[in-house]
Structure 1
Amino acid sequence: MRRTIAVVAAGLRQPSSTRLLADRLAEATRRELERLGAKVEIDTIEVRDHGHDLVNNLVVGYPSEELERVLRKVARADGLIAVTPTFTASYNGLFKMFFDVLDDTVLIDKPVLIAATGGTARHSLVLEHGLRPLFSYLRAAVVPTGVFAGPEDWGVAGVTEVSLARRVHRAAAELAREVDRRDPPAPDDPFDSPEPFSRLLPPS
């Protein structure tokens, strides 16, 4: 069976530790799903590439064609990996905007793995105080293990690097099991959400 994992990474810089963590989680999830017999496709979304479209969506009330395509990837995915840098003890604004414009029914019962990066290990509480409540509100099936990575996790191989690898493996295995035990999302119904006339008519 083919499975798709959407990865939403809200890092702002290139290279980004947030994207690096997202890639590690995605690859570990791929391995776990393949071990369970699935063929896996990874769709990675860099939120920074859609910043202007996100602001416009909030202002005018509907997405651009490109942003709509990206949001559809999340809706159609079997599971989601969501990774944000920590800003002021919470997820960053781009990350929040992305999930503000996503239809609030899309993540119902969808397996979600939450992860974050930060400048100090004290920011690890963002997983439980920020990310988990957000996705619980959206009625997602958030896996028990969240993954936080601080500066010490990216140094030379040592105790912290091994600890991060273990957390990544454990979280990925949990996500893979949740995806594996669910049926794939139902295909889009083109008649379910018809285009409103207000968008079809030219402005007066």
Structure 2
Amino acid sequence: MTTIMAISAGLSQPSSTRMLADRLAAEVKADHTETVELREYAHDITDHLLTRFANARLRPVLRRLADADGLILVTPVFTASFSGLFKSFLDIVEPDALQGKPVLIGATGGTERHSLVLEHALRPVLTYLRAVVLPTAVYAASADWGNDTDLSRRIARAAGELAAEVARRPAVGRVDPFADPVPFTDLLADISGRTDHD
């Protein structure tokens, strides 16, 4: 079963950022899709930054992110970059959680002039985190919502890339270190015959 997690960093409600995340997730057509709005976890994210500890509310979100087969990350554009909330969230994600994971990126903004934020800000930080960032990124300016044909085409192309990348990879699963333990007698047998000088 493939699992896709969509992360929306939109601050308003309703949010065009959430709308874009939902449309991308629906187009991927995975077995299970979950959308997380970071605005609902803003205080938890801040607490984590200050304490370096994920509380009981935030911990399951970070676990599900690590376990997801693919991610959709969508942020609004603020001051020609991704939002502070989005960056704060990336700062608390475990260093290896995104390694090798297929990621579709998207952004929303008032004007198409900010579309390059995907390439000069978002793609580099995710590459640094060793995620597999898909070639097609989706930017939706305010005017794009009125030209739904073009936006739908870009959404379909990006979602298709994510679905194909996830399908060609083995399913991600958290390895349980206690699933197949070595019997204690075998461990003792390994050290039998050793001396104090070994």
| TM-score normalised by length of structure 1 | 0.85
How far, CA to CA, are the matches of 2:56 and 2:177 in structure 1?
A: 16
**Structure 2: any 5+ residue segments left out of the alignment?**
179-198
| Matched residue, 2:170 | 183
How far, CA to CA, are the matches of 1:120 and 1:95 in structure 2?
A: 20
Aligned-partner SS, 1:66: coil
How far, CA to CA, are the matches of 2:95 and 2:35 in structure 1?
A: 20
| Matched residue, 1:174 | 161
- Report the Cα offset of residue 189 of structure 1: 3.0
Aligned-partner SS, 2:169: coil
**Structure 1: any 5+ residue segments left out of the alignment?**
34-39, 192-204
User: What number of residue pairs does the alignment pair up?
Assistant: 178
| Matched residue, 2:22 | 23
Tell me, yes or no, if the aligned pair for 2:145 and 2:151 is still in contact at 8 Å. Answer: no
- Report the Cα offset of residue 186 of structure 1: 2.9
1:144-177 deviation digits (Å, cap 9, x = unpaired) = 000000011112xxxx321111100000000000
- Report the Cα offset of residue 43 of structure 1: 1.2
Tell me, yes or no, if the aligned pair for 1:43 and 1:73 is still in contact at 8 Å. Answer: no
Tell me, yes or no, if the aligned pair for 2:5 and 2:34 is still in contact at 8 Å. Answer: yes
Structure with larger Rg: 2
How far, CA to CA, are the matches of 2:24 and 2:177 in structure 1?
A: 33
1:8-28 deviation digits (Å, cap 9, x = unpaired) = 000001100000000000000
How far, CA to CA, are the matches of 1:46 and 1:73 in structure 2?
A: 14
| Matched residue, 2:194 | none
Give the % identical residues.
54
| Matched residue, 1:105 | 96
Tell me, yes or no, if the aligned pair for 1:145 and 1:171 is still in contact at 8 Å. Answer: yes
| Matched residue, 2:134 | 143
RMSD over aligned Cα atoms: 1.1
Bigger drift between 146-155 and 180-189 goes to: 180-189
- Residues 51-130 of structure 1: matches in 2 within 5 Å? 51-130=42-121
| Matched residue, 1:152 | 143
Aligned-partner SS, 1:162: helix
How far, CA to CA, are the matches of 1:145 and 1:52 in structure 2?
A: 32
Tell me, yes or no, if the aligned pair for 1:120 and 1:151 is still in contact at 8 Å. Answer: yes
